[in-house]
Chain A
Amino acid sequence: MATPTLATQLLHVLAASLLLISFAMLAQRRTRRLIILLAWQGAVLTASTLLVATTAHLDHLYYSAALTLALKVGLMPWILMRLMRRLGIEGDSDSLVNIPTLMLVGLALVIFAFGLAQPISSLATTVTRQTLGVAMAVILLAFLMMIARHKAVTQVIGFLAMENGLFFAANSTTYGMPMVIELGIALDLLVGVFIFGIFFFQIREQFDSLDLHKLEALKED
C-alpha cells in the first residue's frame, strides 16, 4: 500500500474525531452539551468535506460543505437551542442511562461496523474509502443513543447524528450524492426538525414533560 498523503492522514484524523464525538455524545447526559457536540460533529463534517473537495478537485463538494456548515453547524443547533430555552429545559439531564455499559456496547458496534465496511471500502476508489467504517460506526452509535435515551430532545439529537453519519458515508464512498438529491435530503431534514419542534410543544402541553416514559399508553397488553 502506498504511503498515505498528508490529505489522507488529515482526513483520518477528522474521521477519528467524528467517532470520538459520537462516543462523547453517548456519554453525555446534559441536553445542552449534547447540542454543542452535535454542532461540533457538523463542523468536523464540514472540514472533511472541504478537504475532500480540495484534494479531489470537485466543485459540487464546496456547495455541499457550505450547505453542511449552514444547516448542521448553524441553523439546526440554533433551532434546538432556542426550543430548549422556550421550553425551559436547558439544564435537563437524562439520569436513567448506564454509561459504562453503553460504552461497551458502543465498542462492539464499532468493531461490527468496521467488519461490515471492509469488503465495500476495498472496492471504492475515493481517497476517503478507509473512512466508511467510521461512517457506519457513527450511524450505529447514533442508533444506540436513540434506543438508550428517553427524552424527546435527545432522541431527535440522535436522529440528527445518524443523518450526519449518513452524509459522511455518502462522502466517503462516492464523493457525495448528486447535488439535487442532497438538497432534497436537506429540505426533508429541515422540515423534520420543524415538525419535531411542534411536537415538543404538543407533547409538553399534553404530558407536562418531555420524558418519553410517559408515552406508554399504546401498548399491546
Chain B
Amino acid sequence: MELVLVLGIPVLGAALLALVGERRRAADINVAISLATLIAAGALVLRVIVEGSMTMAHEQFFIDPFNVFLIALTALVGFTTAVFSRPYMRIEEEHGRLNARRLRLYHSMYQLFMAAMLVALSTNNMGLLWVAMEAATLSTVLLVSLYRTRASIEAAWKYFILCGVGIALALFGTILLYFAAERLLGSEGMSALLWTRLDAVKGQLDPSVIGLAFVFLLVGYGTKVGLAPLHNWLPDAHAEGPTPVSAVLSGLLLNVAMYAVVRCKILAVGAMHSALPGRMLMGFGLLSTLLAAFFLWRQRDIKRLFGYSSIEHMGIITFAFGMGGPLANFAALLHMTVHSLTKSAIFFAAGHASQIAGTQRIDGIRGLLSISPTVGWGLMLGTLAILGMPPFGVFASEYLILTTAMREHPWATPILLGALGVAFAAIFGHVQPMVFGETDARRLPHSPALLPVFVHLAMVLALGLYMPPALAEWYRLAARLIG
C-alpha cells in the first residue's frame, strides 16, 4: 500500500502538472506532491523497520534496507529541491530565460523523473529496472535543454546520445543475465529476471556468461554513474540545465545508477566466485576520482566545477563498493547519503550565486558575502563539507573508506589521498574568491529559498557528529546485504 502511494503520487502528479502546469500555483502544487511522496516514503520506511524485507505485487517489487534508505533519500531531496525551485524558477522567469509553457514541461517532467527513479529503486525485476533507468534519462533530457541556448542543446544532445548508448549496453547485459538465469529458473513468468530469485541461485549461474553480462552492465549503468572514461555528458548536463535539475541529477540520479551497479555486482560476485567484479569497480572508481580531481583545476564555470566534483565522489563510492566487506559498504552507503545532501545544497547555493552575478563564470562571481550572506555562507559551508572537512559527515565516510583501503589495499591509499588533496586545493581555490572579495552586483528580486541548503548541511553535520544507533544499525544491515 505504502509503495503504491510512493510510486503513484509522482505519476499522478506529473499528469496533473501537465494539465495545469502553466498556472502560477504550479510550483506550489509541485511542492505539495513532493511532500506527499516524502510522507508516503516515510511510511514505507516505518513498515520495513517493523516487518523487515518484503516483496510485493507478485514479487515484481522488492524492498529491503538497502533500497528503502535510497527511496527515503530520493523522496527527501526531491522535496527540498521542489521547495528550492519555487523562488528560483520564478526569478529565472523574471529574467526572461523561461516562459510559462516551459515551466509546465519542467514541473511535469520533474515529477515523472522522480517516479522513474523510485520505480528503478523499488523494482525487483532487472528488466523493469532497465526500463525505469531509461525513462529517467528520457524525462530529464528535455529539462537539460530547457533554456534552449546553444550550449544547453549541445549538452542535452550529448547526454541523450551517450546515456542512450550506455543504457543500450546495459540492455545487452540484462539479456545475457536473463539468458544465464533462464537455464536454471525457466522462462515461465518472469522469474529469471527477478533479482531475489537470481540472488538465491547466483552460485549456480554460469560464470563466463555472467562475467560478460557484468562487463556490459557495469559499462552501461556506469555511464550514468558518471564513471570515467564515460563521464563526458555529466559536467555539461549539470552546467547547462536549470539548477534544480542539476541538483537532482547529481544528488539522486547518480545514486540510482550506482544502486543498479551494486545490485549487479552482488550477482556477479556470487556467480563468479572471484574478486574480479570488485576489482573492476575499484579500477573504474580510482580512475574517475583521479581524472576528476585534475579536471577540477581548469574549470571556469561554477556548476561544471561541482559537476566534476560529483564524478570524483562517485568514483570514491564506486571504489568503496569495489573493496566490499561490511565496513567499506557501510562507508559507501554513508558517503552516498552525505554526498547527495551536500551536493544538492551546494547546487542550490551556486544557482542563486550565479543569479546574483548574472553569470555562471567563476571569475564573474565575486563577493557573495557582502551581497547575500546566506548564499555566501551556504556556498562556503557546503564547499567545506564536500571537501571532507571535519566535523561534517563527508569526513566520517571518507575517513572510513581511507582506513579500510589502508588495511586491505594499501597501494590505493596514496592515489586516493593525492586525488582528495588536489581536489581540495582546486575547489577551495575557486570558491574562496567567489565568497569573499569585492563586488558591485545587486540583490535578487525575490528572497532566495536557502532553507533547504541549511537543512541539508545541518543533517550532514549531524551525521558527522553523532549517528543515532538505530540509523547506524540500519546502515550496518544494508551493508551486510551487499556483502
Contact = CB atoms under 8 A, between A and B. Distances in A.
Contacts of A112: none
B157 A174 contact: no
Contacts, number: 123
SS class, residues of chain B in contact with chain A? helix
A187 B138 CA distance: 11
B155 A218 contact: yes
Interface in A87-130: 116, 119-120, 123-125
Interface in B120-140: 125, 127-128, 130-131, 134-135, 138
A142 B160 CA distance: 16
B407 interface: no
A174 B179 contact: yes
A206 B145 CA distance: 12
**How would you classify the secondary structure of chain A's contact residues: helix, strand, loop or mixed?**
helix
B114 interface: no
B142 A198 contact: yes
B217 interface: no
A188 B135 contact: yes
Contact of B193 (A119, A146, A181): A181
Contacts of B155: 218
A199 B128 contact: no
A203 B153 contact: yes
B141 interface: yes
Nearest to A178: B190
A188 B142 CA distance: 15
B176 A202 contact: no
A156 B154 CA distance: 15
Nearest to B156: A199
Quick one: which of A139, A198, A199 has the most chain B CB within 10 A? A199
Given A123-B209, A155-B161, A159-B161, A174 B190 contact: no
A21 to B, nearest CB: 19
Interface residues of A, number: 46
Interface string A139-182: 10001001000001001000100110010011001110110110
Interface in A172-221: 173-175, 177-178, 180-181, 184-185, 187-188, 191-192, 195-196, 198-199, 202-203, 205-207, 212, 215-218, 220-221
B187 interface: yes
A124 B151 contact: no
Contacts of A169: 172, 175
B178 A177 contact: yes
A65 B427 CA distance: 54
Interface in B150-188: 150-151, 153-158, 160-161, 164-165, 168, 171-172, 174-176, 178-179, 182-183, 187
B157 A195 contact: no
Contacts of B193: 177-178, 181
B127 A184 contact: yes
Given A119-B208, A146-B161, A177-B127, A163 B168 contact: yes
Contact of A217 (B150, B161, B174, B295): B150
A191 B112 CA distance: 13
A126 B190 CA distance: 18
B187 A174 contact: yes
B131 A199 contact: no
B12 interface: no
B208 A220 contact: no
B374 to A, nearest CB: 31
A166 B135 contact: no
A41 to B, nearest CB: 16
B298 interface: yes
Contact of B190 (A152, A181, A187): A181
B209 A120 contact: yes
Q: Of B127, B208, B298, which is in contact with the most chain A CB atoms at under 10 Å from its CB?
A: B127
Contact of B176 (A120, A191, A215): A120
B153 A188 contact: no
Given A188-B134, A191-B138, A173 B154 contact: no
B171 A166 contact: yes
B165 A162 contact: yes
A19 B4 CA distance: 45
Nearest to B188: A178
B389 to A, nearest CB: 28
Contacts of B206: 123
A174 B153 contact: no
Contacts of A123: 183, 206, 209
B153 A202 contact: yes
Given A155-B161, A185-B130, 7 more contacts: A120-B209, A159-B161, A173-B176, A173-B179, A181-B131, A196-B160, A218-B240
29 contacts: A120-B179, A120-B212, A125-B183, A139-B168, A159-B164, A170-B175, A170-B178, A174-B175, A174-B178, A177-B175, A178-B127, A178-B187, A180-B127, A180-B128, A181-B125, A181-B193, A184-B131, A188-B135, A191-B138, A195-B138, A195-B160, A199-B145, A199-B153, A205-B148, A206-B149, A215-B154, A216-B154, A217-B151, A218-B158
CB-based closest 10 A-B pairs: A181-B127, A184-B131, A215-B154, A173-B179, A188-B134, A178-B190, A170-B175, A174-B179, A218-B236, A206-B150
